[in-house]
Structure 1
Amino acid sequence: MGNSKTCPSQKWKVHCLAASQRDFAKDLYLKLAEGSTGNIFFSPFGVAAGLGMACAGAKGRTKDEIKSLLHLSLRSETVHKAFRDAIIDFKNNDEHYELRTSNLVCIPDTLSVLPDYTALLSDMYQSLVKGVDFADGSAAAREINRDVETATNSRIKDLIPEGVLSGDTGTVLVNALYFKGLWNKEFKKSNTIQAAFWVSPKQSVKVPMMRSSGYFNHGSCDDIGASVLSLNYKGGNLSMVIVLPSERHGLAKVEAKLAKTGFVSALEKTMKNKLVDVVFPRLEMEEAVHLKDHLWIMGARNLFDGKASDLSGISGDRRLSVSFFFHKAVLKVDEEGGGGEASTCA
């Protein structure tokens, strides 16, 4: 991610945030992969932004645990500014991609919001904080879903499912993101064929496979047992990076290597611009997962503990805590481009 008009100090803050997010994404992926036999798909930036907004209102051990979870070593003010710069950079108008985001913090309407917290969310996260009547859970869900749908130009609907919110709900964090970009080198639809896609070492399904030949950034690493390919979007700032196990049944081995420091950099060092034959499935994927238990195991325990949580930076009231964390992501990849939408509510 980047923008030619971003000053050096901004780039440094965003670079540090990106490095921290990379480590957090690795940790969360490995946690979600434990015992999983299905797809794993989530937006690390969306989850991190939601936790960043919580961190802005957290104090004491609650705040320290969130920063540790996100691998944030920068001062809190610098962290929030880095999120601001990343969000602004993403949302800069570009004719080659569409990006819609919505950030909300919702607390019971019986509490008042501290002005400093309102200002921080507005400035750093382009976010709103509002009081919601959770006593009528269905009405509260509809209200929040309408806000998200409006902010994303109807790209994301029905973020919060029926029956989740209730009079016992504390803080609700919402992050929704929709992205759709055009490939720098589009796949010709006439080249797409039905071919085998292996979903397990012994099972395959017939899917539309897009094909293209050209110069791409590509590399491979025998030590990791995988190859890596970068598909660039038009505009030059964004790309989709794909890691493919060398063996059909090699995903578990690659995931084991992912736990070791330097996994991504080891792959990136092998990448060179070379002539590559690319075969990639046209796909549409939607995944939803409750993250509360995973994040609790990873170390953010006070955030979800009604007795220990300290989110007094939001309203001055220490009774606030996060009741649940729900994340939904949608990915669509076709011949013209790839992108997706991700939604998080906590």
Structure 2
Amino acid sequence: QGDLRTFLGTKYTKIPMMHRAGIYRHYEDMENMLQVLEVDLKGGNMSMLLLLPFHVESLSRLDRLLSEELMAKWLERLTEQSIAISLPNGIVQGLTQLAALGLKDAWDQKMADFSGLDAMKGQEALHLRDVLHWSSMELEEEDEQVEKPKLFYADHSFLLLVRDKASGALLLMGALDLAEGPGLHDEL
């Protein structure tokens, strides 16, 4: 489900938000002024960690703050709580051109080296012309009735991490500080 709400990122926009309530692992770090929420992804092998500052702000503070030690502290202090979550709809899906992520030499005919994959043995230098990578994650738990839930309302910039639950390895780290949607206009 989704309804249009304001997202306060680097640009203020109106975006569809999804809402869900349930029992989630949550920690409120008063010292660093942020909420940490862990949500299992479908299949239960991975989880998504959301780091949401208490206030609208640039993510540069969180970027400087983030460390392995602090992550361990947050994970240790997560407790199961009744939480009502509101997230930008579609944050867990994306279409990314790999060149934009830093994979550049593979597209350059002179720089690319795919000789180990070349079944024709050098008749033509192999390189990539275009690759698109689609990723999709689904949240595990369905909406459920909970009493007096704490609100986790992600209507402003936040960090997102995906980790393997068995090993603890971080698989993905990203940020949402710009949500595409119609801009807000001052009507005064």
TM-score by length of 1: 0.31
Cα distance change, pair 295–262 in 1 and its aligned pair in 2 (3 A): farther
Q: List per-residue Cα deviations over 1:41-91 (Å, max 9, x = no partner).
A: xxxxxxxxxxxxxxxxxxxxxxxxxxxxxxxxxxxxxxxxxxxxxxxxxxx
1:314: how far off?
Answer: 0.9
Question: Which secondary structure state, in structure 2, belongs to the residue aligned with residue 310 of structure 1?
Answer: coil
CA distance in 2, matches of 1:218, 1:272: 5
- Percentage identity across aligned positions? 19
2:93 paired with 1:284 = no
CA distance in 2, matches of 1:314, 1:208: 44
Aligned partners of 1:226 and 1:244 also within 8 Å: yes
Cα distance change, pair 314–256 in 1 and its aligned pair in 2 (3 A): same
1:229: how far off?
Answer: 1.2
Structure 2: tracts of 5 or more residues without a match: 144-188
2:109 paired with 1:306 = yes
In the TM superposition, what are the counterparts of 1:116-155 in structure 2 within 5 Å? none
In the TM superposition, what are the counterparts of 1:256-295 in structure 2 within 5 Å? 256-258=64-66, 260-262=67-69, 264-273=71-80, 275-281=81-87, 283-284=89-90, 287-295=94-102
Q: List per-residue Cα deviations over 1:185-241 (Å, max 9, x = no partner).
A: xxxx8xx9x6844333784647555242x5421123356543221223576434333
Match of 2:51 among 226, 240, 243: 243
Cα distance change, pair 319–263 in 1 and its aligned pair in 2 (3 A): farther
2:13 paired with 1:210 = no
CA distance in 2, matches of 1:201, 1:247: 13
Aligned partners of 1:218 and 1:272 also within 8 Å: yes
Question: Which secondary structure state, in structure 2, belongs to the residue aligned with residue 284 of structure 1?
Answer: coil
Partner of 1:199: 8
Question: Which secondary structure state, in structure 1, belongs to the residue aligned with residue 102 of structure 2?
Answer: helix
Question: Which secondary structure state, in structure 2, belongs to the residue aligned with residue 319 of structure 1?
Answer: coil
CA distance in 2, matches of 1:283, 1:257: 27
2:62 paired with 1:254 = yes
CA distance in 2, matches of 1:311, 1:226: 45
1:307: how far off?
Answer: 2.2
CA distance in 2, matches of 1:257, 1:268: 15
Q: What is the letter of the counterpart of residue 210 of structure 1?
A: H
Question: Which secondary structure state, in structure 1, belongs to the residue aligned with residue 57 of structure 2?
Answer: coil
CA distance in 2, matches of 1:323, 1:195: 38
CA distance in 1, matches of 2:109, 2:16: 47
Aligned partners of 1:210 and 1:280 also within 8 Å: yes
TM-score by length of 2: 0.50
Structure 1: tracts of 5 or more residues without a match: 1-188, 338-346
Match of 2:38 among 224, 230, 233: 230
1:244: how far off?
Answer: 1.6
Cα distance change, pair 263–319 in 1 and its aligned pair in 2 (3 A): farther
2:8 paired with 1:221 = no
Structure (1/2) with the larger strand percentage: 2
Question: Which secondary structure state, in structure 1, belongs to the residue aligned with residue 95 of structure 2?
Answer: strand
Aligned partners of 2:41 and 2:139 also within 8 Å: no
Q: What is the letter of the counterpart of residue 307 of structure 1?
A: K
Cα distance change, pair 320–336 in 1 and its aligned pair in 2 (3 A): same
Higher relative contact order (CA 8 A, sep 6+): 2
Question: Which secondary structure state, in structure 2, belongs to the residue aligned with residue 268 of structure 1?
Answer: helix
Structure (1/2) with the larger helix percentage: 1
Aligned partners of 1:284 and 1:331 also within 8 Å: no
CA distance in 2, matches of 1:325, 1:234: 26
